[in-house]
Amino acid sequence: MKAVVLFSGGLDSTVLAQQLIRQEAEVRLLSIHYGQRHQKELEHSTRIANILGSPHQILDFSNLGKLLHGSSLTDKAIALPEGHYAEESMKSTVVPNRNMILLSLAAGHALSIGFDTIAYAAHAGDHTIYPDCRPEFANAMETALNLADWEPLRLHRPFVNLTKKDLVHLGDQLGAPLHETWSCYAGRDLHCGKCGTCVERKEAFSLANIPDPTKYEA
């Protein structure tokens, strides 16, 4: 397998990259600045890529965020919600059509370098809030990608039936550098401990009964 991994520098994509490396796939990591409200995750993606020893590129599409209105992840005028993802307020973190855009960019890159796979780390816990993390979306996207070029392209998403707890377990077993991953939406020096992804991260380590290496503000 020759795989371009959509790589955020977060826990999920880091576990995916480590898994593919252990499976002896040829891996290239692609991080995308799509206008998100901070660049902490991109900084961590570079650190992790260096640890993994994988080629890594950051694609600068920072102006894209100006077109993707209505999300607290691209518009600093919208307050970041705090609490669990089950709360209604967390829908403000949905970035319109993000995964279709990012996967399309990754597909163009993969095809241009003769790679046969795009890998992304959507997991079961994402499905209830993010429509573009559902298996139905991924299936349709793979069909579309294979109509977009004469070369076949696989959309590898091995975590669609796994929970965040499962990914913590898997990352620990694989020896993934979980301590370097960044999840927080706030983007300050430490994880805030209160936004949806921080709450999910804390919960996942606790449920997995694995020590959380993350430093939180709260």
Q: Which residues pair with 118 in a beta bridge?
A: 4, 155
pTM reported for the whole predicted model: 0.92
Three-state secondary-structure class, residue 181:
coil
Residue 5 has pLDDT above 80, yes or no: yes
As its CATH architecture, domain 2-208 has 3-Layer(aba) Sandwich (3.40)
pLDDT for the residue numbered 55: 97
| Mean pLDDT across the chain | 90
pLDDT for the residue numbered 42: 93
* Structure-token pair, residue 76: 């600093």
pLDDT for the residue numbered 11: 96
CA dist., res. 107 & res. 151, Å (int): 11
DSSP codes of every residue in 40-54: HHHHHHHHHHHHHT-
pLDDT for the residue numbered 135: 86
Residue 15 has pLDDT above 70, yes or no: yes
In this prediction, residue 25 has a pLDDT band, given cuts at 50, 70 and 90, of: very high
Least confident of 65-69, 160-164, 172-176, 207-211: 65-69
pLDDT (tens digit per residue) in 36-66: 878 899 999 999 999 999 999 999 988 887 7
CA dist., res. 180 & res. 63, Å (int): 27
In this prediction, residue 160 has a pLDDT band, given cuts at 50, 70 and 90, of: confident
pLDDT for the residue numbered 85: 66
pLDDT (tens digit per residue) in 76-127: 777 777 777 666 656 677 777 888 999 999 999 999 999 999 999 988 776 5
The answer to whether the CB of 3 falls within 8 A of the CB of 32 is no
Phi/psi at 58 (5° precision): -115, 120
pLDDT (tens digit per residue) in 177-202: 999 999 999 989 999 999 989 999 99
pLDDT for the residue numbered 96: 77
Strands (DSSP E) contained in 7-137 are 26-33, 56-60, 117-119
Domain-wise residue ranges, the chain: 2-208
Greatest pairwise CA separation for the chain in angstroms: 51
Residue 17 has pLDDT above 90, yes or no: yes
Q: What is the mean pLDDT of residues 159-181?
A: 95
Give how far Cα 171 sits from Cα of 27, 94, 114, 116, 197, Å: 17, 26, 29, 25, 17
CA dist., res. 90 & res. 104, Å (int): 26
pLDDT for the residue numbered 126: 62
